[in-house]
C-alpha cells in the first residue's frame, strides 16, 4: 500500500525553513505541547475541523453544515453565525467542511500519498534549482510519521531535490538514523536547557532531545539550530549560557547557523476555536525592550564563536 | 530600508564568476549601492539632480494656451492648403513663435511648446470635452488628475479658440464616420470595447530611428528628403500627394532646425548676463550644443542627449500621442559615450549626471486628458515613455554595456515616473546587470520592468520581421515589443472587455442587467438556459468573440483612415524607414511595418467564470444554468451561498497551478489572440493582439455587470495576465510560484503586442541578501518558463493605507501600477484600493 501521511498543510514558496525557495509539508500530530505554540491545530494526529467564524455567511442564508451533521447541537451559532464546534461531541467526520460553501469550516488535515506529494513538489522544481531551495518537512512533529518522511525524501533524492527536516528530535534515535541517508539538512530547536522547566513548558523532558542533538552533530550532518526566544521563559542569562555551553562542548560547535526566533503572539483564535486555553494569554512584555534583549543574546552567541542570526532566513549556497 | 545591507564581499565572488560578456569599456562597477544610504530627498549623489527633481515636484500642473493659439492662427491662415501642408505650417508656426524657457541649473533644453510641466492643448484631435469640462466640470475640481487654467483671461481665450475647431477635430469626424451598429459596443455605447485613445488623441506608440537622426542630423535627413523629392516623377499617379508629403517634410524639418537655433540664441543671451561663472560656462556649452545639432550630427554624448530631447519633444508637439519611447537607448547612445571616454571629453560621473538630468527632464511633458480617460487611466504625464536596455544584439549575443548599468543607476537615483525603464533579459544576461536591476526593484519604486527576449523575439518574427530585426526590438509603452524606426504599430489601439463579451455568451447576446437589461446587443449564440454541455458554451464564446472582434476592428480601421485624412505627421514620418523613400506619410502606410494592436482585458475573469459554469452546472450538476444566470442578473443578491462558493477554493481557479482552471485561461487567451491576429488593417499591415489592461481593469469594471467568477457589479475585472481578486476573496491562494506556473502555461508569443504580469511582494519578503537572491532566481525561472513580461511592486498594504490617510507625507511615493509607476497619492481612490487588494505574496 502506498505510504500516506496526515498532512495539515502544503505551502509552496516558503523561504523560512531552509535555504532558497522551498515547498513545505506540515505533518499533523505532535508529542510536545509548547505553551507558545502558534499552530495548535497540529497537536493531534487525526484530521479535525477548523472554524473560521467570520467567513460564515449566516445560518439564515445557509444551513448546509447543519444538514449534514448528525447532531444539531454540535455546531454552535451566535447571532446566526457559526461560532464554534463542540469538540467533545464532534466525531471529526469532516462532512460539514465538505459542504460549507464559504470555507468557514475547513478540514484541518488530510491524507496524502508520497506520489501526491511528489506531484506538488515537481511543479516548482525549477525554482528550487535556481534558488538553492528544495523540500522541507515540518509539523507538528514529522518523526511521528517517519516512515512516510523516509519514503518522501527518498523520492526527492531520486529526483535530485534538496531535503530538509524540521523536527524537535523528540523521538528514538533509530528513527532519525534511518533518515540520515536521505536528509540533506536538519533544523531543530534548543528550547530550554533545564530539563524540569522543559517539561513544565513543553510537556516532555529534554533528555532524549539533547542526546539526539549530540548524536546528530557527531554525524556531521548540516544542522540549523533554533532558539524560540520566549520572554521570561528561556531568555534568562542562565539558559542562554547553558545553551552556548551545550553547543560548544557537547555538540562541538557543529551548527551551521543558530537562529533566534523572537516570540510572537500567534494562533490565539485557533486555540479558541479548538476549545483549548491559550497559555500565553497573560504574558505581558515590552516588545521593544524584548527585541533589544534578543539582539544582545545574538551578540553573546557570536562572541562565543557560534554563528548566530536573528530570524529564520538562511542563505542558499548557489 | 536598512534591511538592505549589502554584502560586498559576496558580490565580488559572484561577480567574477559570471562576468564575461560585458562589452563596456570599464569593468562593471563592483559597488552595487543604489542610494539606500542617502536620505529621502536626496536619492541622487548629484545636488543638481536633487534640485531639479524637487523643482519639478513643486511646479503646478498648468494648462498653457500658447500652442492652441499658434495652431489655430496657422490653420485659419492656411485653410485652403492641402491638409498635410496645413499641418506642417501649424507645426512651423509653433516652432518659430512659441516662448522658450531655460531653467535654472538645467543642462538639457527643450519643452513641448509649453513651460515645464504645463500641458498644451491639441485642438486638432478633439475639443468638445475641453469646452464641456471647462464649463461644467472644471479640471481644477477633479478628484484626481487636476489641471489648472492660470486665469480668467486664459480661460476665455481657450473657450474662444476651441470654438473654431468645432466640427473640424479628428474626434468629430471619426464619430460621424461610425454608424450606430459600430457605436453600440464601443465607448459611445455599451463599452464592450473602448477605442477612446485614438478617437480623441494622437497615436504615438513608437520608437523612432534615433541612430539615423544622431548620425545624419537634421541636415542629413533633409538632404535625403530633397533627393527623394527630386526623383519623384510626374507620371506617378499619386504625384500630388507625394509632392505635398515632401513639401510638408521639408517645412517641418527646416522648422525644427530654426527652433533649435532659437534655443542656441537664447542660451547665448542668458550666458552674457549670467554672473555665476560656472553657470555661464554651462549656458555657453548648451548654446554650442544647439548650434551643432541644429543641422549637424551629434558629436558628443551631451549633444546626443540634447538632440534626443529635441527629437522627442518635437514629436510630442506635432503628434500628441503618448508612449513616445526611447528605443534601445543603451545601444544607440553607446558610440557617443565610447568616443567621449576615449577622448577624455567626459568622465563616467558626468555621464551619469547628464543622464539623471535628462531623466528628470523626461517628466516635464504633461497632457491634459478628458475625464473619461483619466477614470480609466490615471496620470498627468503623456505616459508610456519606455527606455529599453540590455537584451541581445542582432547576432544574438548579449548587448549589455556600461550605459545599461548607468541607466539603471540613474533610475534609482531619480525615482520618478519617467522614464519607464525596461530590462531585456535572456539566458546570457550578465549576473551584474540582473543584480543591479533587482536592487532597483527592491528599492520599491517600481522600475525596471523585465522583458524576456525569448517569447518577444518569437512574437516579432510572427509579425513578419527577420530574425535580425526581431532581435532589435524595443519595448514601447507598457509592454509592447516594437522595432524602432521601422514599425508603426498603432499599439494600445483599444481595450477589449472580454468580461462583457462573456456576458453575451451567458445571456443570448443580451445585456444582463442595468437600465438596458435584456437589450439584444450581440448575436444570440445561446445562453446558460440553453446550453446542453460545456462544449456548447465554449463554441458560443468563440462565436461572440468573432463577432465583437469584427466590430472592434472595423471601428479601428475607420479611426485609422480619419487620422490619415485630418492629421498626418510628416515630421515624425521622417524618422521611419519607408516614408521618405516612398513619399508617403506614416498615417498613409509609408512605414515598413504597420500594425494595429488592440488589447484584451479580463481574461481571468472569463476563465474563472467558465470554471464556475463547468464545475457547478456540467460536472457537479449542483446548480442549473438558470440559477447561475439569475445570480449575476441579481448582482448576487439573494444568492449568497453561491457567491461564497464561487469565490472559494472549491472551484478551480486560475493562478493556482491547477491544470483544469489554467486550461480555461489558455482557451480564452488563445481565443482572443486567434480572432485578432492576421486581420488586415488600413495601412497595409496586420492586426496584432495584446493581453494587458494596464490599470483600465478598474475603470472597465465600473461598467461591467456582475460576473460568474464571483465579481459584483462595478468591481474591477481581472488585471492583465493576473488572477481574479474580488471583494469575496483573492482567487490565487497558492503563492507566486503557482502564479508563474499558471501564467506560463500559455504561449506568450501569441500575444504579439505583449503580455503583462504584476506581482506584489512586501518589503520584508525580499529583504537581505537572501531576499535578493530569491527574487533573482524567481525572475530567472519566470524567464526560463517563457513568460514575456514581469514587474514587481515591493510595497506593503500597510504603507499604502498609511498613504491614503496622510497623502501629504507620501507625495513622492511611487508605486508600480502596471507597465509603469505612478505617484500613489495622485491615483483615484478605486485604483488605490485595487492596488491594495492585489494579493500580497507573503511567505
Ligand atoms: S465534523 Fe462531522 S461531527 Fe463534527 S461538526 Fe462537522 S459534521 Fe458534525
Ligand atoms: S455551512 Fe458554512 S456558511 Fe453555511 S451556515 Fe454552516 S458554517 Fe455558515
- Pairing mode, if any, of strands B449-452 and B789-794? antiparallel
Q: Are residues A230 and A99 in the same domain?
A: no
Q: Determine how many CB atoms are found less than 10 A away from the CB of residue A31.
A: 16
Specify whether A88 is located in the same domain as A228.
no
List, in order, residues 6 or more apart from A48 with CB less than 8 Å away.
Answer: A41, A87, A90, A92, A94, A107, A108, A109, A274
What is the helix (H) or strand (E) element at residue A224, kind and residue range? Answer: strand A223-229
The predicted pLDDT at position B30 comes to: 33
- CB atoms near residue B240 (< 10 Å): 11
Identify the CATH number of the domain in which residue A209 sits.
Answer: 3.20.20.70
Residue A316 falls inside a structural domain: no
| Chain-chain contact of B781 with A103 (C-beta, under 8 angstroms) | no
Asked if B650 reaches chain A (Cβ–Cβ under 8 Å), the answer is: yes
State whether A20 and A78 are in the same domain.
Answer: no
Chain A residue numbers with beta carbons less than 8 Å from the beta carbon of B650 are 101, 103
A69: Cβ below 6 Å to ligand 2?
no
Question: Does residue A271 sit in the same domain as residue A295?
Answer: yes
Query: Are B737 and A102 in contact (CB < 8 Å)?
Result: no
- Say whether both A145 and A266 belong to one domain: yes
Phi-psi region of B207 (alpha: psi -120 to 50; beta: other; left: phi over 0): beta
In a domain, A209, yes or no: yes
* Domain boundaries, position A74: 48-105
Pairs from A180-184 (Cβ < 8 Å, separation ≥ 24)? A180/A219, A180/A221, A182/A150, A182/A153, A182/A154, A182/A156, A182/A157, A183/A153, A183/A221, A184/A134, A184/A222
What nine digits make up the cell of B192? 464592450
For B354-377, the pLDDT digits (tens) are 999 999 999 999 999 988 878 767
Q: Which of A61, A87, A105 is where one domain is finished?
A: A105
What does the pLDDT look like over A65-98, one tens digit per residue? 999 998 888 999 999 999 889 988 899 999 999 9
Q: Which domains, and CATH codes, for chain B? A: 19-58+322-484+757-843 (3.20.70.20), 64-183 (no CATH), 184-201+486-756 (3.20.70.20)
Cβ pairs A/B, distance under 8 A: 87
Mind listing the pLDDT tens digit for each residue in B65-76? 999 999 999 999
Kindly report the nearest CA distance between residue A62 and chain B, in angstroms: 6
Cα-Cα-Cα-Cα torsion B26, B30, B34, B36, nearest 10 degrees, comes to -160
Higher pLDDT, B814 or B818: B814
- Is A240 found in the same domain as A101? no
Domain co-membership, A114 together with A101? no
* A315 in a structural domain: no
pLDDT, chain B, mean: 90
Rounded-to-integer distance, Cα B643 and Cα B711, Å: 9
The lowest-confidence range among B262-276, B356-370, B817-831 is B817-831
How close is the Cα of A109 to the center of ligand 2, in Å? 19
What CATH code is carried by the domain that includes residue A88? 3.30.70
Q: What residues does B488 pair with on adjacent strands?
A: B594
Three-state DSSP string of B204-269: CCEECCHHHHHHHHHHHHHHHHHHHHHHCCCCCCCHHHHHHHHHHHHHHHHHHHHHHHHHHHHHHH
- Helices (H) and strands (E) counted in chain A, each on its own, are 11, 13
Q: Are residues A281 and A259 in the same domain?
A: yes
Let me know if residue A13 belongs to a domain: yes
Residue A163 DSSP SS3: strand
**pLDDT tens digit sequence for A180-233:** 999 999 999 999 999 999 999 999 999 999 999 999 999 999 999 999 999 999
Distance CA B58, CA B52 (A): 10
- β-pairing, A48-51 vs A162-166, is unpaired
Q: Based on the structure, what is the number of domains in chain A?
A: 2
Tell me the CA–centroid distance for residue A88 and ligand 2, in Å.
Answer: 20
Residue A318 inside a domain? The answer is: no
- Radius of gyration for chain A, computed over Cα atoms and rounded to the nearest angstrom: 21
CB contact under 8 A, B649 and A12: no
Regarding whether A304 and A213 lie in a shared domain, the answer is yes
Half-sphere exposure of B506 (CA within 13 A, CB side): 29
Predicted local distance difference test score (pLDDT) of residue A312: 82
With cut-offs at 50, 70 and 90, classify the pLDDT of residue B2. Answer: very low
B81: number of Cβ within 10 Å: 17
| Same structural domain, A93 and A64 | yes
The pLDDT of residue A273 is above 50: yes
Domain annotation covers residue A317: no
For chain B, the distance separating the N- and C-terminal CA atoms, rounded to the nearest angstrom, is 19
What is the per-residue pLDDT across B584-624, written as a single tens digit (0 to 9) for each? 999 999 999 999 999 999 999 999 999 999 999 999 999 99
Residues A199 and A122 reside in one and the same domain: yes
Rounded CA separation B698/B695 (Å): 6
Nearest CA to ligand 2 atom 8: A56
Whether A152 is in a domain gets the answer yes
Question: B21 touching A, CB under 8 A?
Answer: no
**Are residues A18 and A134 located together in one domain of the fold?**
yes
Cα B652 to the chain's mean position, in Å? 33
Amino acid at each position: 500500500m502506498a505510504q500516506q501521511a496526515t498532512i495539515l498543510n502544503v505551502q509552496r514558496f516558503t523561504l523560512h525553513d531552509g535555504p532558497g525557495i522551498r515547498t513545505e509539508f506540515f505533518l499533523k500530530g505532535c508529542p510536545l505541547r509548547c505553551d507558545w505554540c502558534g499552530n495548535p491545530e497540529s497537536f493531534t494526529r487525526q484530521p479535525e475541523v477548523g472554524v473560521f467564524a467570520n467567513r460564515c455567511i449566516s445560518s439564515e442564508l445557509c444551513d448546509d453544515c447543519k444538514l449534514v451533521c448528525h447532531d444539531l447541537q454540535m455546531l454552535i451559532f451566535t447571532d446566526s453565525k457559526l461560532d464554534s464546534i463542540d469538540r467533545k461531541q464532534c466525531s471529526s467526520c469532516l462532512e460539514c467542511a465538505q459542504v460549507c460553501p464559504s470555507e468557514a469550516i475547513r478540514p484541518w488535515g488530510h491524507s496524502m500519498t508520497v506520489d501526491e506529494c511528489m506531484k506538488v513538489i515537481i511543479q516548482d522544481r525549477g525554482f528550487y534549482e535556481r534558488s538553492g531551495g528544495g523540500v522541507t518537512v515540518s509539523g507538528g512533529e514529522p518523526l511521528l510519521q517517519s516512515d512516510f518522511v523516509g519514503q518522501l525524501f527518498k523520492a526527492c533524492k531520486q529526483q535530485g531535490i534538496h531535503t530538509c527536516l524540521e523536527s524537535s528530535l523528540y523521538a528514538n534515535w533509530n528513527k532519525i538514523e534511518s533518515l540520515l541517508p536521505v536528509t540533506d539538512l536538519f533544523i531543530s530547536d534548543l528550547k530550554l536547557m533545564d530539563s524540569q522547566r522543559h517539561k513544565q513548558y513543553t510537556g516532555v523532558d529534554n533528555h532524549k532531545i539533547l542526546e539526539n542533538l549530540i548524536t546528530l552533530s557527531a554525524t556531521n550532518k548540516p544542522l540549523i539550530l533554533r532558539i524560540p526566544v520566549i520572554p521570561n521563559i528561556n531568555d534568562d542569562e542562565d539558559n542562554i549560557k547553558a545553551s552556548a555551553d551545550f553547543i560548544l562542548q557537547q555538540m562541538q560547535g557543529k551548527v551551521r547557523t543558530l537562529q533566534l526566533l523572537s516570540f510572537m503572539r500567534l494562533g490565539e483564535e485557533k486555540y479558541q476555536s479548538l476549545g483549548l486555553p491559550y497559555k500565553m494569554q497573560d504574558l505581558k512584555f515590552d516588545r521593544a525592550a524584548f527585541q533589544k534583549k534578543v539582539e544582545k543574546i545574538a551578540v553573546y552567541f557570536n562572541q562565543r564563536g557560534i554563528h548566530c542570526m536573528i530570524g529564520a532566513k538562511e542563505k542558499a549556497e548557489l | 530600508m536598512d534591511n538592505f545591507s549589502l554584502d560586498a564581499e559576496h558580490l565580488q565572488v559572484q561577480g567574477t564568476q559570471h562576468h564575461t560578456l560585458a562589452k563596456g569599456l570599464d569593468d562593471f562597477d563592483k559597488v552595487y549601492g543604489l542610494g539606500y544610504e542617502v536620505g529621502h530627498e536626496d536619492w541622487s549623489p548629484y545636488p543638481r539632480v536633487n534640485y531639479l527633481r524637487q523643482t519639478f515636484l513643486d511646479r503646478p500642473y498648468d494648462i498653457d494656451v500658447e500652442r492652441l493659439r499658434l495652431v489655430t492662427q496657422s490653420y485659419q491662415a492656411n485653410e485652403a492648403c492641402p491638409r498635410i501642408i496645413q499641418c506642417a505650417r501649424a507645426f512651423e508656426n509653433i516652432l518659430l513663435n512659441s516662448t522658450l524657457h531655460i531653467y535654472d541649473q538645467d543642462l538639457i533644453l527643450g519643452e513641448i511648446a509649453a513651460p515645464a510641466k504645463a500641458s498644451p492643448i491639441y485642438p486638432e484631435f478633439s475639443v468638445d470635452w475641453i469646452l464641456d469640462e471647462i464649463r461644467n466640470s472644471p479640471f481644477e475640481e477633479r478628484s484626481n488628475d487636476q489641471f489648472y487654467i492660470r486665469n480668467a483671461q486664459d480661460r476665455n481665450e481657450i473657450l474662444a479658440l476651441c470654438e473654431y475647431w468645432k466640427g473640424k477635430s479628428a474626434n468629430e469626424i471619426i464619430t460621424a464616420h461610425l454608424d450606430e451598429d459600430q457605436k453600440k459596443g464601443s465607448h459611445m455605447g455599451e463599452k464592450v470595447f473602448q477605442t477612446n485613445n485614438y478617437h480623441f488623441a494622437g497615436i504615438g506608440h513608437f520608437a523612432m530611428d534615433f541612430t539615423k537622426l544622431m548620425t545624419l542630423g537634421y541636415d542629413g535627413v533633409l538632404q535625403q528628403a530633397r533627393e527623394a523629392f527630386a526623383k519623384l516623377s510626374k507620371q506617378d499617379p499619386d504625384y500630388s500627394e507625394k509632392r505635398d508629403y515632401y513639401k510638408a517634410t521639408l517645412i517641418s524639418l527646416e522648422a525644427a532646425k530654426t527652433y533649435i537655433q532659437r534655443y542656441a540664441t537664447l542660451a547665448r543671451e542668458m550666458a552674457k548676463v549670467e554672473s555665476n561663472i560656472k553657470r555661464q560656462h554651462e549656458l555657453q556649452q548648451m548654446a554650442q550644443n544647439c548650434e551643432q545639432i541644429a543641422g549637424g550630427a551629434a558629436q558628443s554624448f551631451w549633444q546626443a542627449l540634447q538632440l534626443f530631447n529635441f527629437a522627442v519633444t518635437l514629436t510630442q508637439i506635432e503628434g500628441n500621442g503618448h508612449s513616445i519611447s526611447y528605443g534601445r537607448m543603451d545601444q544607440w547612445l553607446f558610440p557617443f559615450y565610447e568616443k567621449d571616454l576615449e577622448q577624455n571629453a567626459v568622465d563616467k560621473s558626468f555621464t551619469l549626471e547628464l543622464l539623471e538630468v535628462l531623466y528628470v527632464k523626461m517628466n516635464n511633458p504633461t497632457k491634459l486628458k478628458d475625464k473619461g480617460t483619466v477614470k480609466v487611466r490615471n496620470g498627468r504625464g503623456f505616459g508610456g515613455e519606455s527606455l529599453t536596455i540590455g537584451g541581445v544584439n542582432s547576432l544574438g549575443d548579449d548587448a549589455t554595456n556600461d550605459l545599461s548599468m548607468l541607466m539603471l543607476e540613474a533610475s534609482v537615483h531619480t525615482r520618478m515616473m519617467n522614464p519607464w525603464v525596461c530590462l531585456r533579459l535572456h539566458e546570457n544576461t550578465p549576473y551584474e546587470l540582473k543584480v543591479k536591476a533587482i536592487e532597483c526593484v527592491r528599492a520599491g519604486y517600481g522600475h525596471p520592468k523585465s522583458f524576456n527576449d525569448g517569447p518577444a523575439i518569437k512574437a516579432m518574427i510572427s509579425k513578419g520581421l527577420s530574425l535580425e530585426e526581431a532581435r532589435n526590438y524595443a519595448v514601447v509603452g507598457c509592454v509592447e515589443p516594437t522595432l524602432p524606426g521601422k514599425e508603426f504599430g498603432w499599439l494600445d489601439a483599444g481595450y477589449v472587455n472580454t468580461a462583457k463579451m462573456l456576458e453575451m455568451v451567458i445571456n443570448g447576446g443580451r445585456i444582463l442587467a442595468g437600465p438596458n437589461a435584456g437589450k439584444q446587443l450581440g448575436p444570440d449564440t445561446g445562453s446558460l438556459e440553453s446550453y446542453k454541455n460545456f462544449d456548447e458554451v465554449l463554441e458560443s464564446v468563440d462565436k461572440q468573440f468573432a463577432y465583437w472582434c469584427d466590430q472592434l476592428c472595423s471601428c479601428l480601421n475607420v479611426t485609422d483612415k480619419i487620422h490619415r485624412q485630418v492629421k498626418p505627421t510628416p515630421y515624425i514620418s521622417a524618422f521611419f524607414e519607408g516614408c521618405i523613400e516612398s513619399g508617403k506619410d506614416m498615417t498613409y502606410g509609408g512605414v515598413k511595418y504597420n500594425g494595429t494592436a488592440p488589447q484584451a482585458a479580463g481574461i481571468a475573469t472569463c476563465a474563472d467564470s467558465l470554471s464556475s459554469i463547468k464545475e457547478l452546472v456540467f460536472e457537479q450538476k449542483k446548480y442549473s444554468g438558470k440559477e447561475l444566470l439569475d445570480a449575476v442578473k441579481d448582482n448576487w443578491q439573494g444568492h449568497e451561498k453561491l457567491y461564497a462558493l464561487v469565490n472559494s477554493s472549491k472551484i478551480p481557479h486560475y493562478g493556482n497551478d491547477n491544470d483544469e482552471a489554467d486550461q480555461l485561461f489558455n482557451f480564452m487567451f488563445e481565443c482572443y489572440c486567434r480572432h485578432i491576429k492576421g486581420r488586415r488593417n488600413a495601412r497595409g499591415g496586420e492586426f496584432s493582439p495584446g493581453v494587458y489592461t494596464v490599470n483600465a481593469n478598474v475603470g472597465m469594471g465600473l461598467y461591467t455587470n456582475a460576473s460568474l467568477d464571483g465579481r459584483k457589479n462595478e468591481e474591477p475585472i481581472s488585471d492583465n495576465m493576473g488572477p481574479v481578486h474580488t471583494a469575496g476573496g483573492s482567487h490565487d491562494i497558492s503563492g507566486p510560484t503557482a502564479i508563474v506556473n499558471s501564467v506560463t502555461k500559455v504561449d506568450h508569443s501569441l500575444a504579439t503586442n505583449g503580455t503583462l504580469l504584476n506581482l506584489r511582494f512586501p518589503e520584508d519578503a525580499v529583504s537581505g541578501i537572501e531576499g535578493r537572491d530569491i527574487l533573482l532566481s524567481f525572475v530567472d525561472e519566470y524567464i526560463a518558463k517563457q513568460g514575456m513580461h514581469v514587474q514587481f511592486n515591493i510595497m506593503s498594504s500597510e504603507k499604502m493605507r498609511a498613504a491614503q490617510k496622510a497623502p501629504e507625507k507620501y507625495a513622492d511615493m511611487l508605486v508600480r501600477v502596471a507597465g509603469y509607476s505612478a505617484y500613489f497619492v495622485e491615483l483615484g481612490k478605486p485604483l488605490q484600493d485595487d492596488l491594495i487588494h492585489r494579493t500580497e505574496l507573503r511567505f
